[in-house]
Copies of this chain bind each other. A is one copy, B any other.
Amino acid sequence: MKKMTAGELAKFLNAKIAGDGSALLSGIAAPEDAGAEDLIYVEATKHKQRAEASAARCVIVAEEIELQGKTTLAVARPKLAFAKAAERLLEPSPIATGRHATAVIDASAKLGGGVAVGPYAVIEADTTIGANTQIGAFCYIGRGAKIGESCQLFPRVNLYAGAKLGNRVIVHSGAVIGGDGFGYVYGDGNYAKFPQVGAVEIGDDVEIGNNTTIARGSLGKTRIDRGVKLDNLVHIAHNVHIGEHTIIAAQTGVSGSSEIGDHVVIGGQVGIADHCTIESGSIVGAQAGIPTGKKIRAGEVVWGTPARPLARFKKQYVWFERLPELAERLRKIEEKNK
């Protein structure tokens, strides 16, 4: 942990400070777990008491919140400020340091300055790894793969041959990038494998969760653009394109050749069939199912299987809940009309 004073932090965050500016900060915590030097934050007045009861001396607060006996740093968006402060205060332990003697690095691999490689990593021929990238233990970097600068590959990440990552990409343990897409042609009673030889390109600042799988294009490319965040156990099929700053929660699957716009928010366990278009700014509720070829329009909020606008779903669902009552009312009218 790096130490800084409340005053220094206020300056860094452009926050309005009240109280003791010399209070030392050396970490972050939830209010209940915090020690005196841990930074905490409060966004809503209802959490005021949690903060006041905390051992933390210094609190990031929303502008309208006043706290007794604390040094407060008032900002417009406390959670965002807390995240930024955390990045300054925390020094995460490195995924790897130096190049471990057991790493198998092909002579033709080009490693930038400050690249660290953990034990038993394997880096195949004709690969390029940008400066200050960390490659964890057991990572497998296939032939011809290209990784940008300042990336973090946690232990046990696989890149198939030719996969490309931008800069500052974080890939978590168990993720696999560039595996074969699921494409076959049926003929003569069995399935022939359709060639899976396309590319996969991951943009800058993307984060990819544990055990998530991203297939290469069959022909053409799979593309995950800048700033996309994928949770754990997500499946992205061949030739999918995901636009900038889209986030996808755990266990969602996107089938072949679907096109997802920028700033889309997709819940967990969503299924998106092939050749769908999910336009920018739309929101897809958890467990929704989007059938083949369907388009979700920009800014729409959808839910259910097959997915439809949330407002419409709610109106229908109210009556689904009341179906036994509807049926009974119908029976009574029928009685009268006999």
Q: Which residues of A contact B (CB under 8 A)?
A: 28-30, 32-33, 77, 79-80, 82-84, 86-87, 90, 92-93, 100, 102, 104, 118-120, 122, 136-138, 140, 142-143, 154-156, 158, 160-161, 172-174, 176, 179-180, 182, 184-187, 189-195, 197-198, 205, 207, 209-211, 213, 215, 219-220, 227, 229, 231-233, 235, 237, 245, 247, 249-251, 253, 255, 267-269, 271, 273, 286-287, 289, 291, 304-305, 308, 315-316, 318-324, 326-327, 329-330, 333-334, 336-337
Q: Which of B184, B229, B245 contacts A182 (CB 8 A)?
A: B229
With A190-B227, A197-B90 already in contact, the answer to whether A255 and B268 are too (CB < 8 A) is yes
A165 to B257, CA, bound (A): 32
Most chain B CB within 10 A, of A90, A180, A247, A269, is at A269
Q: Which of B79, B104, B291, B316 contacts A119 (CB 8 A)?
A: B104
Q: Which of B271, B320, B327 contacts A269 (CB 8 A)?
A: B271
A156 to B232, CA, bound (A): 17
| A255 cross-chain contacts in B, Cβ below 8 A | 249-250, 268
Taking a contact as CB atoms under 8 Å apart, the answer to whether A30 and B249 are in contact is no
17 extra interchain contacts, Cβ-Cβ under 8 A, other than A182-B209, A269-B289?
A28-B197, A82-B194, A87-B195, A100-B104, A104-B120, A119-B122, A154-B158, A156-B158, A172-B179, A172-B180, A182-B249, A213-B233, A235-B268, A249-B255, A287-B305, A316-B321, A320-B323
One complex includes copies of this chain to the number of 3
With A156-B140, A189-B245 already in contact, the answer to whether A33 and B172 are too (CB < 8 A) is no
Most chain B CB within 10 A, of A90, A192, A237, is at A192
A182 to B229, CA, bound (A): 8
Taking a contact as CB atoms under 8 Å apart, the answer to whether B190 and A173 are in contact is no
Taking a contact as CB atoms under 8 Å apart, the answer to whether A232 and B247 are in contact is no
Taking a contact as CB atoms under 8 Å apart, the answer to whether A235 and B215 are in contact is no
